[in-house]
């Protein structure tokens, strides 16, 4: 019984945690891929910026993926990104 209660709690908690995204469309490519940034994930640390980027594929990839989420770190001083 405890296992079911814990599993239910985790499912409810995780679904509410994922509802806090604030996506903004940043652009679209010629092959219909769309890029979004989560405005609520932006964090600043000195000259670094961190955010979550969503790529919505225009068509399903060969491996069956329709989208991808990437945590991005940018260094504004050097104007480069790390994934």
Q: What is the pLDDT of residues 11-60, one digit of tens each?
A: 655 554 556 889 999 999 999 999 999 999 999 988 888 999 999 999 98
Contacts of 45 (CB under 8 A, 6+ apart): none
73 neighbors 53 (Cβ within 8 angstroms): no
Q: Where do the domains of the chain lie?
A: 23-82
The verdict on pTM exceeding 0.85 is no
- CA 9 to CA 1: how far, in whole Å? 12
């Amino acid at each position: 019984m405890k296992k079911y209660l814990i599993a239910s709690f985790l499912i409810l908690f995780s679904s509410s945690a994922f509802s806090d995204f604030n996506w903004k469309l940043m652009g679209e490519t010629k092959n219909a891929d769309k890029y979004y940034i989560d405005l609520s994930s932006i964090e600043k640390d000195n000259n670094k910026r961190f955010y979550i980027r969503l790529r919505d594929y225009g068509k399903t990839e060969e491996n069956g993926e329709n989208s991808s989420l990437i945590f991005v770190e940018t260094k504004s001083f050097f104007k480069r990104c790390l994934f």
